[in-house]
Amino acid sequence: MKEFQYLRPETVEEAVALRCEHEGRSVLLNGGTDIVIQLRERLIAPEFVIDIKHIPGLNQITFSKEEGLYIGACVTMNDISDNEDVRKYYPFLSEAAHSVGSKQVRNRATLVGNIVNASPLCDTGTPLYVCEANICIVGKEGKREIPITEFITFVRKTVLKPDEIVVGVKVPYIEGAKGIFTKISRRKEVDLATICGTVLKIGDNYRMAFGAVAPTPIRLPETESLLQEKKLTPELIDEAAKHACTEVSPISDIRASKEYRLDVVEVTVRRSLEQLA
């Protein structure tokens, strides 16, 4: 492991200044579960590691029906899965956070880190996609918010600029929404997703998002439109489940074949709709 200088800013503004000063030569540390592995395996070799875990406000979760849910950049997966408001109003997000790794990993891993890492397999991505969450960013040019669907652009690629920091995620509150999160993996626990997905019911409308079936997590807009303002019948559910497979483009890898993933998408959509009907 190459030696690096450890920096510990006390404010977001100080962290942004350090990012600007050491642009292209620094990485941010909040949870550290991914960065530590990347450092150890020499996948990255930064000159500076900027630890933002101690900045006030970044480890807070707040909720109101007016403002929705706000999750700070350093909030851990266990913080999310155990939070009463998350469990009451966003149970599918609580389940997704709880599905990440072991308890020890969840004590360090953060939702923001999971999203910024931009893996197609990220467990917490699909709940945020169906809720149409916004990513809160601070950089030298000020603050901005961007929809999560625009934030992740490709495998491990985001729109985040070198001087910018993700400080949190805003998740709108949706009155009466009900959702189901599904994760399929080779082992029941402590494993990466073969496929993960969330189906959200809002009145007579549905939103669907899947991970590990494309270079980024994706929504299924055609399948959603097919169900819009319609009463679910066994025939409509079957049609939607089959159509969902036409909107994904999975690959074969060491975890599963393309054909298996397509089958799982169909089964997941069908079972989720049957439960939500």
pLDDT tens for each residue of 87-126: 999 999 999 999 998 889 999 999 999 999 999 889 999 9
Contact 208, 130 (CB under 8 A): yes
CA distance 228 to 52: 43
* Edge-first strand listing for the sheet containing 218-219: 178-184, 195-202, 205-211, 218-219
The answer to whether the Cα torsion of 38, 44, 49, 55 is positive or negative is negative
Domain extent listing, the chain: 5-51, 61-171, 178-276
Query: What was the pLDDT predicted at 243?
Result: 98
**For 26-51, how does the pLDDT look when each residue is reduced to its tens digit (9 = 90+)?**
999 988 777 877 887 888 889 999 99
Strand partners, 213: none
Q: Residue 191 above 60 pLDDT?
A: no
User: Domain 61-171 adopts which CATH fold?
Assistant: 3.30.465
Q: Residue 235 above 90 pLDDT?
A: yes
pLDDT category of residue 1 using cuts at 50, 70 and 90:
low
The closest of 9, 6, 97, 115 to 53, measured between CA atoms, is 9
Strands 134-139 and 165-171, by their bridges, are antiparallel
Q: Is 169 helix (H, G, I), strand (E, B) or coil?
A: strand
CATH of domain 178-276: 3.30.390.50
CA distance 85 to 91: 9
Query: What was the pLDDT predicted at 240?
Result: 99
**For 217-234, how does the pLDDT look when each residue is reduced to its tens digit (9 = 90+)?**
999 999 999 999 999 999
Q: Which CATH number fits domain 5-51: 1.20.1730.10, 3.40.440.10, 3.30.43.10, 3.40.50.2300?
A: 3.30.43.10
CA distance 76 to 78: 5
Query: Which residue do the tokens 């994706």 mark?
Result: 218
**For 120-148, how does the pLDDT look when each residue is reduced to its tens digit (9 = 90+)?**
889 999 999 999 999 999 999 999 999 99
CA distance 211 to 120: 6
